[in-house]
Every structure is written in C-alpha cells, then in structure tokens.
Amino acid sequence: MFITPDEMNTVVYQYQLEEITESDPDIVQLAIDAAVEEMKSYLNPTGQTRWRDGRPRYDIGAIFGAAGADRNAIVLELCKSIALYYVCRLANVDMIQERIKDRYDRAIDWLEKVSGVGKYADGPAIAPDLPIMVVTDDEVPESFRYGSREKFNHDF
C-alpha cells in the first residue's frame, strides 16, 4: 500500500478521522485508494499523442509501489490531501470544509502542472523528481509525417 490509514495524521487529527468515519477503517482505505487512482490518472500518459512530444512519461508502478522513505514526499502529502477530501464528504467535524477543499484544489493544480493539462496545457510542465519510464524508439510511433505531392506539370 502506498499510504496506510495511520499515516493520515499529517493532514487530519486521528480523533477527527474516527468521528467522521465512525471508526470504520474501510472508509479511510477506500478514500486512499480513490486518491491514488486519481493521481495515477493525471500521471499516466494513456496513449494520447500529446505524450509523444518528448515530455517525461512517469513510471506509475514505481511511484505508487514505493514504500517508506522511498516515496516522493510531495506526491505522498498531496495524495493524503486528496484522500482527506474524499473522507470529509461524509461530515464536517470541527474542521473548516473550505480549507480541505483548498488543499484538494492545490493538489489537483499541481497534478495539472505536472501533466500539462487544463489551464497549463499550453505552458511548460513542471518536472518533479519521479521515476520515468524508459521508452525505446520502436515503442513510440511516428506522431506525424511530412512530404510533398508529386510535381505538377502543365501539358499543352
């Protein structure tokens, strides 16, 4: 597992988490799984032609398969913020919902910057220190072709 429910203590107090989920660890784990899947969807190239332009293709298996200190700190904390957003849809126990929504929006904004989508589609993407997939030339199909038509001659 990329994140365990016990590690959520950097984004929410344990008593708050227990009150919201009514001490059901399955709810927290489901929110964590949903957050990981959402992050994967932003970092996965999904075969789109725009990913063939030389931008880094992140190794999703290595990023989310890491454990302990091998995990990327910013990916870990942003994933926790997204998971907390999913948990807090149930209730608002002495927390400010806007603050949680702001954290979620910042996490999604960072993911859009990394993947170069949304309002960052035309600008350069940021490149965090994440494992990158090794792509050989035979795996990357030609994204375009060029040439000209045959020469046209008038015959009179």
| pLDDT at residue number 72 | 92
- Global confidence as pTM: 0.75
For 88, residues 6+ apart whose C-beta sits below 8 A from its C-beta are: 20, 95, 97, 100
User: Model confidence at 70, in pLDDT bands (50, 70, 90)?
Assistant: very high
d(CA 125, CA 116): 5
| pLDDT at residue number 74 | 92
